[in-house]
Amino acid sequence: MSVRPTSNMNTTRSRSGRIRRYLVAIAVALLLAVLFRGYPQSQTEHVLDSNRFPPHHKIQNELQGHGFHDSPLQHLKRQGGSDEDDEEDEWAKCAKKGCRLNELMGKSNADLQSKDRSSWINFDDIKKYGWSLSDQEDKVGPNDDDRASSAPLLQALGIPGLDDPSWKKVPWVHVTESKVDGKTYPPTKGEHINFYNPTHGIIIAANNRSPLQKNGDIPRERVIPLRRWSDLAYLTWLDVCRQHHQDPKNLKYILRMNVFSDDVQDILPRVIGKSLVDLTESYPGISVDGMLRSENARAAIGFSNGRGVAWLLIQHKETFGDKKFIKAINIWDSYNAHRPAKLMPGLDEIPNVLFTIS
């Protein structure tokens, strides 16, 4: 299913308002702090820090078990003006960024400016800056949510499921202080947990929270410089390809699974022509028309999850080759048409986004 590009698609503002999401996030965090008081610290951190918001029904079950059956903020009302202007600004920013990223993807490596290339080419830098592999069972292997969310896509592409040995799940966590070039960087609890399959040319971004997202209390200059998804994904992809004796240039797909970020609810409903609540299709879901030329396509590349994919290709042309493009984007419900009948507001707005590369 596909939609034609449009510049004035009307979306459900009550669900996509940025203020509402910030308030929801704060309220849920406060509620969880109470609900999980007394739990072991590692369990509490896993629930609160999951890139999926939440790993499907876990938070809802806990809240309902304590008597909460509606949105934690159902009685809160926004005051002041509408945030439609903010959403319009966000759309314009993402479309502009997507346009610029398309231009950079179309340039040869020789034509790129130095600021558009990544300095991270050494795998050993990951551990040097305090990243380590988690040994928590839930982060080492695929869980039921991972399997269910990815299964229809992998079946359609003829790729084995996540339990197949062609896959490797790499759970980087930032829990160690590091000292590099005379500077001390504190642990941030950042996470970059992804699945890699070099045999079939696919990366699945599962749980990703950068050090800046995880610990806003640390001054920016003290946060490790090796923190972006695109850089850690690239270095890990190279290493996994080496282990599997595969050419790293053979990258065809990147799945951003169960995405929830500040701009998802602002950008994606307008791209697909309906609210994320109404996005109930399984893969292939809705395809974005007019790749490389429509405003919808530019915004879909320019929002946070799309930018990471684009920068991965742009900054590492020495590996992936010149003029590597995102040629298709598909967006569908992460529940794959099996959404539970009763979900708290906000838990029914979590899509999957597939970027196909040429």
- With cut-offs at 50, 70 and 90, classify the pLDDT of residue 85: low
What radius of gyration do the chain's Cα atoms show? 20
SS3 of 97-142: the string is HHHHHHHHHCCCHHHCCHHHCCCCCCCCHHHHCCEEECCCHHHHCC
- With cut-offs at 50, 70 and 90, classify the pLDDT of residue 44: very low
CB 323 within 8 A of CB 105: yes
pLDDT of residue 83: 52
CB 138 within 8 A of CB 145: no
Three-class DSSP category at 290:
coil
Q: Kindly list the domain boundaries of the chain, sorted by start residue.
A: 84-357
Token pair for 247:
């050419």
Residue (of 111, 114, 105, 118) closest to 323 by Cα position: 105
Q: Sort residue 167 into left (φ over 0), alpha (ψ -120 to 50) or beta.
A: beta
CA–CA dist 52, 49 (Å, integer): 9
Hey, what amino acid is at 36? Answer: F
pLDDT at position 288 over 50: yes
Token pair for 229:
């998804």
CA–CA dist 240, 250 (Å, integer): 12
- Mean pLDDT throughout 234-246? 98
Q: Which residue has the higher pLDDT, 79 or 306?
A: 306
pLDDT of residue 341: 80
Q: Which residue has the higher pLDDT, 8 or 192?
A: 192
